A = this chain, B = another copy of it.
Amino acid sequence: MGKGERTRAAILDRAIRLGSQLGLEGLSLGQLAEELDLSKSGLFAHFRSKEELQVRTLDRAAERFVEVVVRPALAAPRGEPRLRALFERWLAWPELVRQPGGCIFVAAAVELDDRPGPARDRLVELQRQWLATLATAVRGAQAEGHLRADVDAEQLAFEAYGIMLVSHHATRLLRDRKAVERARNALERLIASARR
């Protein structure tokens, strides 16, 4: 990475942290500049608009997600172990890449669902990619004979997504200390119901 790229990555990492708390609409170039001790005009050299900042923040978050969730999980053996590794790291994602306000994608989803534009489009693309990655892992587990061939891979990915959402909700809003345990139980039940 050149100096420009490093600066840009540092800005975006801070934007992920802030965005997890304030939402993507709450991100301001002014506040970012202040927190990073950069001039606002220096920041504008990297991102021409707030909209561009939002899209690049989502891209950077997705890049980090691949680094800390997807890639390490792909090191697990294909099939059920890999699917489990994906679930396990996904559960830990808001801590693996520090997001004090919880998963930035969840915050952005509720914020952007009614706001057409490039940030929404990108978020939808990223969420679909992730659901497709999960479905592929389910198919891998079917190919290995770990899960039944008649399981609907997209349905299983959809249900896993629901478990992550409620785990986030119960942790963040309800401060439910059993949330992660309940999420693990639910994922176990989901896998067990799909097993041969």
Binding site for B on A (CB under 8 A): 21, 101-102, 106-107, 109-114, 120, 123-124, 127-128, 152, 154-155, 158-159, 161-167, 169-170, 172-174, 179, 182, 185-186, 189, 193
Shortest beta-carbon distance from A3 to chain B in Å: 34
Instruction: Count the copies.
Output: 2
Contacts of A110 in B (CB 8 A): 106-107, 109-111
Contacts of A164 in B (CB 8 A): 162
5 closest Cβ pairs, A-B complex: A162-B166, A162-B162, A165-B165, A113-B172, A110-B110
> Are the CB atoms of A173 and B107 closer together than 8 Å?
no
A174's partner among B21, B128, B152, B186 (CB-CB below 8 A) is B128
> Are the CB atoms of A182 and B158 closer together than 8 Å?
yes
A25 to B160, CA, bound (A): 30
